[in-house]
């Protein structure tokens, strides 16, 4: 699967041998780069009303899906998007305040975004 919206990282690992020798090495591991453009955006985020809008860069294709999970990974909401839709309202007003995870799937691509509902 292809995931976008993930942050990049760089990890430097350096060490010196503890054996009777004078050698040391350093390795740099480079992670996933930030995508050039985000395939979708969610607003407002955070939301006081619990209503979020998912705006896609192009009209949805057949079989596109939006899902909302709680932090434990439990599926709370699933909606198949009609072909041609480009902006989808997502209502979480019946859920408690807190963090949620939105996943949008279309054409083998996944977009993942954290949502925060705070009605106070």
The whole model's pTM is what? 0.64
Any domain includes 7: no
Is 94 part of any domain?
Answer: yes
Q: Could you give the CA distance from residue 50 to residue 119 in angstroms, rounded to a whole number? A: 7
Residue 31 inside a domain? The answer is no
Report the pLDDT value the prediction gives residue 28, as an integer from 0 to 100: 55
Residue 79 pLDDT > 80:
yes
Does the residue 8 lie in any domain?
no
How would you classify residue 81: left for phi > 0, otherwise alpha for psi between -120 and 50, otherwise beta? Answer: beta
Domain tally, the chain? 1
Q: What domain range is 69 assigned to?
A: 41-117
- Which CATH number is 69's domain given? 2.60.40.3080
Strand-pair partners of 64: none
Compute the average pLDDT of residues 76-80: 93
Residue 104 lies in a domain: yes
Q: Kindly report the average pLDDT of the chain as a whole number.
A: 78
């Amino acid at each position: 699967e292809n995931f976008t919206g993930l942050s990049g990282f760089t990890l430097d690992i350096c060490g010196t041998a503890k054996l009777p020798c004078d050698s040391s090495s350093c390795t740099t591991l480079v992670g996933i780069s930030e995508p050039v453009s985000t395939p979708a955006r969610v607003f407002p985020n955070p939301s006081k009303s619990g209503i979020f809008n998912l705006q896609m860069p192009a009209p949805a294709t057949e079989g596109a899906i939006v899902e909302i999970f709680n932090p434990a990974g439990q599926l709370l909401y699933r909606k198949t998007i009609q072909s041609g839709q480009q902006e989808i309202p997502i209502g979480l007003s019946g859920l408690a305040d807190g963090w949620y995870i939105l996943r949008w799937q279309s054409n083998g691509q996944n977009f993942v975004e954290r949502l925060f509902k705070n009605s106070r």
